[in-house]
Structure 1
Amino acid sequence: MDDFRWSIQGRDGQPMSDLASPTFPTQTDAEAWLSETWGELADAGAAAVTLVHFEDVVYGPMSLDPPA
């Protein structure tokens, strides 16, 4: 079983321990969750996310700021 999750960083670049991503069986599932919840994460103070597969970075950090 695959283990994809989002590492959620605050404005200071540090992980936000109070915001935890669930784990997902596929990258597609993880990306679908983020597309539905990025606004809530940003409202809670998250500034960026990084997609992690087990302990390997898939991509990121990716800003949660809306496009200019």
Structure 2
Amino acid sequence: MVARPQWEWHLHDAEGRLLERPVSPIFTTQYDAEVWLGEHWRALSEQGVVDARLVHEGRQASPTVQLPSLA
């Protein structure tokens, strides 16, 4: 069995707390994770997500992404 890399977004609120919902899917490539965020950032922002941190195998893999507020 081949282990596939896992990428996921950790989504945080304005206080910096990791949100339980919404939940990021698990991705097998960084590209797929970044495309997903690009397609869903508006809905995530509406749900209270202020920033997203891409995590690969348990470690932050890129700078934190600030989501614009739609309010």
Q: TM-score, normalised by structure 2?
A: 0.88
Q: Which residue among 52, 63, 66 is the counterpart of 1:60?
A: 63
Deviations, residues 22-47 of structure 1 (Å, cap 9, x unaligned) = 00000000001000000000000000
Q: Going by fraction, where is strand more abundant, 1 or 2? A: 1
**d(CA) in 2 for partners of 1:58, 1:45:** 23
Larger radius of gyration: 2
> Secondary structure at 1:7's aligned position in 2?
strand
| Offset at residue 56 of structure 1 (A) | 1.1
Structure 1 gaps, min length 5: none
Structure 2 gaps, min length 5: none
Q: Which residue among 5, 8, 11 is the counterpart of 2:8?
A: 5
Residues 1:26 and 2:29 aligned together: yes
Instruction: Report runs of 4+ in structure 1 exceeding 3 Å deviation.
Output: none
**d(CA) in 1 for partners of 2:24, 2:65:** 15
Q: Which amino acid aligns with 1:29?
A: D
Contact 1:2 1:53 in 2 (8 A): yes
The CA RMSD over aligned residues, in Å, is: 1.0
Q: TM-score, normalised by structure 1?
A: 0.91
